[in-house]
Amino acid sequence: MARYVEPRAARHRVELVDGCEQLRIPVRRNWAFTLFLGFWLALWSVGGVVVIVELIRHFDPFLLLWLTFWALGWLFAAATLAALVAGSEVVRVVDGDLELSAGVGFMRRAWRYRGSAIRELRRAETMGWGPWFARSQPMPIFLRPRTGAVRFDYGADTVYFASGVDGPEGSQIAAWLAKRLPPAASASFAQGVVE
């Protein structure tokens, strides 16, 4: 006799922060890429230490320049690794405007959209990319997502977010937002138009 498959709980959670309700969506973890990046960062660090030792022994302007670019690469990789391990997207409505942010800790980037300019809030279909790439997860998460489970029109742009969830959960997030954004933002959602 077959057993029932238990429904999966939503990945996002509702929080109350400074009197404002918000959604926190954890990054969809890609453990293969996370392990690779951790290993790469360890090797990159060893390379930097070797160059620092050489620079201390014999000053060379080229090595100093190389070390500058090495440090920028190290910071970028370390921030990406931290975001993959503990990062999240935060979605909140503040005074009728939509605020989206992504990152981890103090390394968080935010975008704010006028609620009056948002149109066609809806679920967006997500696609799986297989085991090597996180499903619709932008790399790194500090950049504005180009895919996600929720989207809306903003002027001549289509804005995506909630990249760490699947389509049905995207519908839940869109419904949560439809109650908090101005009515024009979610008119098609209220009529049941979902792509």
**pLDDT, tens digit, 9 for 90 and up, residues 5-28:** 998 889 999 999 988 899 999 988
Domain of 117 in residue numbering reads as 13-27+89-190
Last residue of a domain, one of 84, 111, 126: 84
| Start-to-end CA span in the chain (Å) | 37
- The residue with greater pLDDT, 143 or 135, is 143
State whether 17 and 40 are in the same domain: no
Say yes or no: 165 and 115 in one domain: yes
As a dihedral over the C-alpha atoms of residue 13, residue 16, residue 22, residue 25, rounded to 10 degrees, the angle is -30
The answer to whether residue 51 is domain-embedded is yes
pLDDT > 50? residue 97: yes
With bands split at pLDDT 50, 70 and 90, how would you rate the model's confidence at 166? confident
Name the burial class of residue 89, with classes exposed (0-12), middle (13-18) and buried (19+) by CB atoms within 10 angstroms of its CB.
buried
Whether 3 is in a domain gets the answer: no
My answer on whether 175 and 95 are in the same domain is yes
Query: Contact at 8 Å (CB) between 189 and 183?
Result: no
Q: What is the pLDDT of residue 135?
A: 47
Give the lowest-confidence range in 35-39, 94-98, 127-131: 127-131
What token pair was written down for 148? Answer: 């996600």
Same-domain status, 71 and 117? no
Residues 68 and 142 in one domain: no
Are 55 and 147 members of one domain?
A: no
Domain presence at residue 167? yes
* The predicted structure's pLDDT at residue 30: 84
Give domain status of residue 6, yes or no.
Answer: no
Tell me, yes or no, whether 21 and 37 share the same domain: no
Residues in the chain: 195
Total number of domains in the chain: 2
Determine which of 84-88, 142-146, 148-152, 188-192 has the lowest per-residue pLDDT on average: 188-192
Average pLDDT over residues 54-71: 93
For 5-42, give one letter per residue: b (16+ CB within 10 A) or e.
Answer: eeeeeebbeeeeeeeeebbebebbebeebbeebeeebe
Q: Tell me the whole-structure pTM to 2 decimals.
A: 0.77
183-191 long-range contacts (CB < 8 A, ≥24 apart) are 184/116, 184/118, 184/119, 185/98, 185/115, 185/118, 185/119, 185/121, 185/152, 186/121, 187/119, 188/120, 188/121, 188/122, 189/121, 189/122
Q: Domain boundary at 84, 99, 118, which?
A: 84
